[in-house]
Each structure stands twice: as structure tokens, then as C-alpha cells.
């Protein structure tokens, strides 16, 4: 592990290399939990059925004697609070719902904690609460507990939100990068970089077309349909938020000790996003998403999985973008339009801070 800076940098929150080193050095080391050490989007926690029941749950199934829950938490510090396609409240609900859904769970309940800066207009807070309520309704989850704290003017940049979520793991479901095998195919449900660039354009007051919107959306409906149609075909899933597509693929490659190859021309990118990235010197493959899911499937199920995704409003632009290989283990290789191959690694610095 590389030597860490003696102080926290913005890059430690980027989702890239420094973020991973910080988590390993401080939190995984000192919290000493085997569940935490797996570093999944949600912790999977098992209970004897006699210990815990969830109202209305179909888990445990007849003939089984345990219940498995998925539990996750995330904090949102985005600026600005409102951006094309969403706001910090919608983002907070979608982000936590999606972390549960990509773990193979049915999201059920959320908490909401608010750190509010003195001077925030009450009307702003209410708009955000309404947005959270509507997003929760669309996602089919309930916000059931929460907390508020008010801090001095200048101490919270308006508003920070933390959400935690609980979901019921589908019976027999185990999604993990450790399941990856050579030949598995990689799918994504649509264009990359939309969220990060929509926020950046709003923040900087730039315009690259009226259609540049955040992709912020709850993915649990899409994922439920995919798992119902292809229950034994999905190896693992992940929503590529901070650090974007390449960071998630590197996490998978390192965790599974497999190689990953991606076709650059197969990755869907909106022209507005591509143009904005070129002007700002950014790579859309590292830009955050909030309504995208990367899915690894067994090869024989790829066409059926793509058809299911494309039949859903949030998957109409789904694409096959790459595959798992036993070559170059632990590395992600991008095949360029000219046929060359180049290794793409996690970013060390912060490309776009404060975008989630």
C-alpha cells in the first residue's frame, strides 16, 4: 500500500485509488469485521428465522430456516443541491436503493439523516423532502426513521444527507466479483457519464445542449425484472458511481483476480457528455453515474439479459461492452477503435469532487 498523505485530501473522497487505500488503512483495519472486509455495496447479514421476521417478506422460503438482509449506508454532499435531472434528496434515495438492488436484495426501508447549515431556506429543505418522498414512492420503499442536526453557518455548505437502507435478499442469491469466470460477458444499461457532467455543467454555468441531464434513478425495478428472467445467469452487479465505469471494473478485476477487456466503441456515451469532457479534459469512463448498473452474466444468457434490459425504460440503450478473461489478472484493458490495447487503472486524484 502506498504511503498516505498525513492529511485528508479531496481525492480521498473520489472513489479512486486513494479512497480505497484510506478505507483499507483506517476503517477495515480498525473495525475488524469480516462482513465489512468484503467491501460490497451492501453488507449481507443472516439471521435465524426464529430471531427475525420482516413483515410481508417472502424470505425465508418454505423449507429454509434463515433470513438474509442487505444493509447499506451512504452520505451525500453534492454541490449544487439542485441539478438538471435531480437534487440531493432524489440522489440520496436512489443511491441507497441502488446499492441494495445490485446486491440482489429487494429494498424495503430507508433512514434519512440531515445535517443542515444555519441559514438554509426552509423552502429549499421542503422541496428536497418532497423530492425524497416522491422518489421513495417510485422505488417502492419507505423512509421510516431519521435525524436532523443544525450546524453553524458555513459549516455544512447548505445541506448534507445520510441515508441507510435495509432490503431482503432474494432466496438463493449470492452476487459477488468472486463469482466471475473467464468468458463471462459485461453489460451496462445505458450511457455513461451523464450524472457527473450534468452536475459539473450546472456548477460551472456551462451549457452543452439542453438534453444533458443526470441519469439519477432507482434501478430496483429494472434489476428485479432482470433477476426474474435470468435468475441463474447473473454473476455480479455494481452501480458505477464515484470513479465511474473504469473504477468499478478495476475493483472487480482486483477482487476476482481476473482480467477484464472492454471495447471502447461499445461503451455508450452521449455526444453532449463527450463534448463536455473534451472541453474540460476529462474522460467519461471515469465520470460518475447514478442510474447505471454494470452486470456480469454467463455468456449463454447475454442476449436474453440484453433483451430484458432494453424492454425497460431505464435500459433502452443497454449494451454489451466487454468480457472477463484469464489474461492479465487484476487489470482492465481497453480495446481502442484502432485495435490497440491499453491498460486503464483507477484514478489517483479527484477528477470531479462533490458530485454525489
Range of the domain at 264: 177-343
Answer for the pair 107, 139: CB distance below 8 angstroms, yes or no: yes
pLDDT at 79: 93
- Residue 328 φ/ψ, nearest 5 degrees: 35, 60
Q: Which of 114, 48, 47 is nearest to 81 (CA)?
A: 114
Omega within 30 of 0 (cis) for the link into 47? no
Angle at 281 between CA 275 and CA 286, to 5 degrees: 85
Q: Which of 84, 55, 73 is nearest to 111 (CA)?
A: 73
Answer for the pair 175, 104: CB distance below 8 angstroms, yes or no: yes
Instruction: Return mean pLDDT, the chain.
Output: 90
Q: Is the per-residue pLDDT at 354 higher than 90?
A: no
Q: What is the DSSP letter of 61?
A: P
Residues 215 and 306 in one domain: yes
Q: Which of 107, 137, 74 is nearest to 356 (CA)?
A: 74
Residues 231 and 214 in one domain: yes
pLDDT at 5: 65
pLDDT at 138: 98
Q: Is residue 32 part of a domain?
A: no
Q: Is the per-residue pLDDT at 159 higher than 90?
A: yes
Q: Is the per-residue pLDDT at 3 higher than 90?
A: no
pLDDT at 4: 57
3-state SS assignment for residue 321 = strand
pLDDT tens digits for range 118-133: 999 999 999 999 999 9
Name the domain boundary from 169, 185, 214. 169
Q: Which of 90-94, 206-210, 272-276, 306-310 has the lowest mean pLDDT?
A: 206-210
Q: Is residue 29 part of a domain?
A: no
pLDDT tens digits for range 97-115: 999 999 999 999 999 999 9
pLDDT tens digits for range 281-332: 899 999 999 999 999 999 999 999 999 999 999 999 999 999 999 999 999 9
pLDDT at 65: 52
Measured CA to CA, the distance from residue 173 to residue 237 in angstroms comes to 12
Secondary structure element (H or E) that encloses residue 255, with its range: helix 244-256
Residues 331 and 219 in one domain: yes
Residues 152 and 253 in one domain: no
Q: Is the per-residue pLDDT at 56 higher than 70?
A: no
pLDDT at 350: 64
Q: How far is CA 93 from the centre of its chain?
A: 12
Q: For residue 280, name the pLDDT band (cuts at 50, 70, 90).
A: confident
Residues 55 and 111 in one domain: yes
Query: HSE (CB half, 13 Å, CA atoms) of 156?
Result: 21
3-state SS assignment for residue 46 = strand
Q: Is the per-residue pLDDT at 141 higher than 80?
A: yes
Q: Is residue 253 part of a domain?
A: yes
Residues 161 and 239 in one domain: no
Q: Which of 285, 195, 292 is nearest to 246 (CA)?
A: 285
pLDDT at 26: 87
| CATH number for the domain harbouring residue 106 | 3.30.1330.10
Residues 211 and 138 in one domain: no
Q: Beta partners for 187?
A: 295, 320
330, with CB counted inside 10 A (0-12, 13-18, 19+), is middle
pLDDT at 279: 86
Give me the DSSP letters along 211-230: T--------HHHHHHHHHHS
Secondary structure element (H or E) that encloses residue 324, with its range: strand 319-325
Give the count of domains, the chain.
Answer: 2
Residues 217 and 242 in one domain: yes
Residues 183 and 139 in one domain: no
All 3 cell numbers of residue 143?
423512509
Q: Is residue 109 part of a domain?
A: yes
Q: Beta partners for 113?
A: 147, 162
Name the domain boundary from 169, 186, 221. 169
173-178: average pLDDT: 94
Q: Higher model confidence: residue 231 or residue 263?
A: 263
User: Model-level pTM?
Assistant: 0.90
21, with CB counted inside 10 A (0-12, 13-18, 19+), is middle
Q: Higher model confidence: residue 42 or residue 284?
A: 284
| CATH number for the domain harbouring residue 298 | 3.90.650.10
Residue with cell 414512492: 137
Answer for the pair 118, 150: CB distance below 8 angstroms, yes or no: yes
Angle at 24 between CA 250 and CA 220, to 5 degrees: 55
Name the domain boundary from 152, 169, 186. 169
Q: Which of 45-59, 101-115, 240-254 has the lowest mean pLDDT?
A: 45-59
Q: Is the per-residue pLDDT at 16 higher than 90?
A: no
pLDDT at 333: 98
Q: Is residue 222 part of a domain?
A: yes
pLDDT at 254: 95
Number of other CB atoms surrounding residue 261 within 10 Å? 19
Secondary structure element (H or E) that encloses residue 263, with its range: strand 259-263
Q: Is residue 25 part of a domain?
A: no
Residues 113 and 228 in one domain: no
Q: What is the DSSP letter of 118?
A: T
pLDDT tens digits for range 191-225: 999 999 999 988 888 776 567 899 999 999 999 99
Residues 136 and 233 in one domain: no
Q: How far is CA 329 from the centre of its chain?
A: 24
Q: Is residue 144 part of a domain?
A: yes
Residues 67 and 145 in one domain: yes
Answer for the pair 247, 286: CB distance below 8 angstroms, yes or no: yes
Q: Is the per-residue pLDDT at 180 higher than 80?
A: yes
Q: Which of 186, 174, 180 is nearest to 330 (CA)?
A: 180
All 3 cell numbers of residue 24?
483499507
Q: Is the per-residue pLDDT at 87 higher than 90?
A: yes
pLDDT at 1: 46
Q: Higher model confidence: residue 262 or residue 39?
A: 262
Q: For residue 266, name the pLDDT band (cuts at 50, 70, 90).
A: very high
Q: Is residue 237 part of a domain?
A: yes
Q: Is the per-residue pLDDT at 64 higher than 50?
A: no
Amino acid at each position: 500500500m502506498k504511503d498516505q498523505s498525513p492529511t485528508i485530501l479531496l481525492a480521498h473522497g473520489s472513489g479512486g485509488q486513494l479512497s480505497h487505500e484510506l478505507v483499507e488503512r483506517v476503517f477495515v483495519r480498525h473495525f475488524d469485521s469480516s462482513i465489512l472486509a468484503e467491501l460490497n455495496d451492501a453488507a449481507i447479514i443472516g439471521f435465524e428465522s426464529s430471531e427475525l421476521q420482516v413483515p410481508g417478506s417472502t424470505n425465508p422460503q418454505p423449507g429454509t430456516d434463515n433470513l438474509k438482509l442487505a444493509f447499506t449506508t451512504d452520505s451525500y454532499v453534492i454541490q449544487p443541491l439542485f441539478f438538471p435531472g435531480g437534487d440531493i434528496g432524489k440522489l440520496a434515495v436512489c443511491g441507497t436503493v441502488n446499492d441494495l438492488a445490485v446486491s440482489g436484495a429487494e429494498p424495503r426501508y430507508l433512514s434519512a439523516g440531515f445535517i443542515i447549515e444555519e441559514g438554509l431556506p426552509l423552502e429549499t429543505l421542503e422541496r428536497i423532502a418532497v423530492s425524497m418522498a416522491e422518489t421513495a414512492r417510485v422505488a417502492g420503499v419507505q423512509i421510516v426513521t431519521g435525524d436532523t442536526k443544525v450546524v453553524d453557518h458555513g459549516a455544512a455548505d447548505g445541506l448534507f444527507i445520510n441515508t441507510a437502507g435495509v432490503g431482503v435478499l432474494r432466496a438463493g442469491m449470492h452476487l459477488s466479483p468472486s463469482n466471475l469466470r473467464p468468458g463471462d460477458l459485461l453489460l451496462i444499461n445505458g450511457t455513461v457519464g451523464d450524472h457527473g457532467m450534468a452536475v459539473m455543467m450546472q456548477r460551472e454555468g456551462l451549457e452543452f445542449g439542453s438534453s444533458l441531464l443526470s441519469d439519477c434513478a432507482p434501478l430496483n425495478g429494472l434489476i428485479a425484472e432482470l433477476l426474474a428472467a435470468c435468475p441463474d445467469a447473473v454473476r455480479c452487479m455494481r452501480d458505477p458511481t464515484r470513479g465511474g465505469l473504469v473504477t468499478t471494473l478495476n475493483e472487480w478485476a482486483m477482487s476476482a483476480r481476473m482480467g477484464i477487456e472492454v471495447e471502447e466503441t461499445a461503451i455508450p456515451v452521449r455526444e453532449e457528455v463527450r463534448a463536455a469532457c473534451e472541453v474540460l479534459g476529462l474522460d467519461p469512463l471515469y465520470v460518475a453515474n447514478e442510474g447505471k448498473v454494470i452486470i456480469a452474466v454467463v455468456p449463454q444468457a447475454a442476449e436474453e439479459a440484453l433483451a430484458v434490459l432494453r424492454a425497460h425504460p431505464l435500459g433502452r440503450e443497454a449494451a454489451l461492452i466487454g468480457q472477463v478473461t484469464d489474461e492479465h489478472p487484476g487489470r482492465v484493458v481497453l480495446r481502442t477503435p484502432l485495435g490497440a490495447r491499453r491498460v486503464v487503472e483507477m484514478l489517483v486524484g479527484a477528477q470531479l469532487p462533490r458530485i454525489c
